[in-house]
A and B are shown apart, each in its own frame.
Chain A
Amino acid sequence: MTNPTGWKPSMEQDARPGPGLDGAPGAGGATRGLVHEEQLLFERGSTGRCGVSLPKVPPGQEPKDLPKELVREGVDGLPEISELEVIRHFTRISSWNHGIDTGFYPLGSCTMKYNPKSSEALARLPGFANVHPLAPAELCQGALELMWHLERALSEIAGLDATALSPAAGAHGELCGLMVIRAHHESKGNPRRRVLLPDTAHGTNPASAALNGYEVQQLASNPDGRLHPEAVRAAMTEDVAAIMLTNPNTLGIFETHIREIADIVHAKGGLVYADGANMNALLGVARPGDMGVDVIQYNLHKTFATPHGGGGPGSGPVAVKASLAPFLPLPVVVKEGDAYRLVTDPRERPRSVGRLREFWGNFAMFVRAWALIREYGPEGVAQTGKLAVLNANYVRARLAGTFNLPYETDSLHEVVFDDKLQKANGVTTMDVAKRLIDHGFHPPTIYFPLVVAGALMIEPTETESKETLDRFVAAMQAIAEEAKADPDALHAAPTRPFRARLDETRAARKPVLRWRPGMKVE
């Protein structure tokens, strides 16, 4: 028998709770009880099995008309597995994951709120799932109507005038927004050269700017965690195409000077781009368009709870001021009388930046987002923003003193602590994060934003109850105590999940990125 995973019964020791964790708050989830080892699909040896039921290829209809050298008999290496074995394989490996449905997931900047099951059911209605993107308009009026309503709602919530739905994710939205900005400047005769970014920016911001051919100039934020008008004034020239701001920023702090900063940028002909990753804080409370923002991208997978899916798909609609609407990518949905239509022909929108992806956007995510907005209604939208901010401030109040707060400034939807108090005992943010796993919680975002050494960035979202937050706080307090009493135990965390700390150095030095026939993967 082969045992490619290297599992030995003696390792069961490690699956037991670490010291002091019996009855720990939040304990449970996928890390306790019977956990199965599971091979790779490709490591199964059987031949002749199949997990699908398909019509037979009629005799005499074998492909003879294709050039022989362009055809293959079959794809070597593909597994041969029955349906039940496939089901078990994925069910088992799924149990090695922590998801929002498993437990609290306070990953800062990612807005891990509950993903409504209604939205899943609705997106799967055949009338949505089985529409072809090139269906004639009369056969897809429902899809177009939904997109039209969503476009209106997203424009309204952002306080802007028009929204392009097609960008596929947040970073794609950033790329789109900057393309629109570039097209605007080009229409004035000069695309300009630089984009200003505060030092708290997400990594996608500089990468998106560079992909757009812009140089990046980083601005230092003040000791209060905010970008101050003086820094912008000093950097702002007629060579600057735009400033990219996240508001609230990645410290969870509102950029109070946004209006003045926008005025400074506008005075020199520049534009204000807001990274909408943190829109959850402002929902129904304040609107970027009212603050002088010209362009913002949404992340529907954050703010409107379309599932993160283990890394996507996202959806990154881009909202703009009316003056920028002609530059938006195609398609756009228009309403003519009672009928809806997609504008895809650049002759109708000659100033459009063009197409950003195939077809019309991640439509299945539009269905989910629209379903949630319909369920929220105006009060629900506002209540979402308020409760998200309440939850973050509650965690902040309860943990202040136990963990160091590098910025005392007011927090909105997320709060950033650091490991300054724990470092005295040699315990780092990484140790705290890994021990949280043993308590049944997903760790916060760590080591980001870069302006905070050892950052722990906590975003609870509004869908978490006070009891859950209390359990999380208790776990964090227990870890802080453990850091004093037994720092070595923390370095060994996590002890409860299916795998202990993984050797990332080994993975990067000798990359093994796929299975090959006859290969032992380790």
Chain B
Amino acid sequence: MEIPEDLRYTREHEWARTKGTRIVVGITDFAQDQLGDVVYVELPDVGDPVKKGESFGVVESTKAVSELFAPISGKVVEVNDPLSDAPESINEDPYEEGWMIAIEPSDPKELDALLDAKAYRAFVEEQE
């Protein structure tokens, strides 16, 4: 299971990557493995506000629906539109092609409260 060192993580298995002033968000390798084949993803529109810890969309496999939780508050500035036609990217490449949204954070310091790779790895091992 892949857990890149340079990302931050939530306990709901989202990852957050700082890219300039933006925070790019997706779900982790562990999460995609637990879901199985992703068949559909529902994401917010550009401009929508998101709030840390609150749902910003859903991801579906054939037999389950999971909510996606924002790792940080702010405004959606970009959405990975190709995912609607190719949700399999979330399974195949969760940290790159499978990214979901980019957020312009209202308080970048919120990021500090997230898990680092080591803590997330420990958390996942505990879950298993």
Contacts and interface: CB of A to CB of B under 8 A. Distances in A.
Interface of A: 447, 504-505, 507-509
Contacts of A509: 37, 39-40, 87-88
B75 to A, nearest CB: 30
A507 B61 CA distance: 11
A452 to B, nearest CB: 16
Contacts of A504: 62
Interface of B: 37, 39-40, 60-63, 87-88
A507 B37 CA distance: 12
A508 B62 CA distance: 7
A329 B88 CA distance: 48
Q: Is the interface of A mostly helix, strand, loop or mixed?
A: helix
6 tightest CB-CB pairs across the interface, nearest first? A508-B39, A505-B37, A504-B62, A509-B39, A508-B62, A505-B62
A513 to B, nearest CB: 14
A447 B62 CA distance: 14
Contacts of A447: 63
Given A504-B62, A505-B39, A509-B40, 13 more contacts: A447-B63, A505-B37, A505-B61, A505-B62, A507-B62, A508-B39, A508-B40, A508-B60, A508-B62, A509-B37, A509-B39, A509-B87, A509-B88
Nearest to B39: A508
Nearest to A447: B63
A207 to B, nearest CB: 13
Contacts of B87: 509
B60 to A, nearest CB: 8
A507 B88 CA distance: 13
Contacts of A505: 37, 39, 61-62
Nearest to A507: B62
Task: Give the one of A447, A504, A509 with max B CB within 10 A.
Answer: A509
A509 B87 CA distance: 8
13 contacts: A447-B63, A504-B62, A505-B37, A505-B39, A505-B61, A505-B62, A508-B40, A508-B60, A508-B62, A509-B39, A509-B40, A509-B87, A509-B88
A454 to B, nearest CB: 13
A90 B60 CA distance: 34
Task: Give the one of B37, B87, B88 with max A CB within 10 A.
Answer: B37
Contacts of A508: 39-40, 60, 62
Nearest to B91: A505
Contacts of A507: 62
A498 B106 CA distance: 57
Contacts of B63: 447
A509 B88 CA distance: 9
A507 B63 CA distance: 12
Nearest to B62: A504
A13 B87 CA distance: 34
Contacts of B37: 505, 509
Contacts of B40: 508-509
A504 B62 CA distance: 7
A508 B88 CA distance: 12
A504 B61 CA distance: 10
Nearest to A504: B62
A504 to B, nearest CB: 4
A504 B38 CA distance: 11
A174 to B, nearest CB: 21
Nearest to B60: A508
A351 B39 CA distance: 47
Contacts of B39: 505, 508-509
Nearest to B86: A509
Contacts of B62: 504-505, 507-508
Nearest to B88: A509
A508 B37 CA distance: 10
Contacts of B60: 508
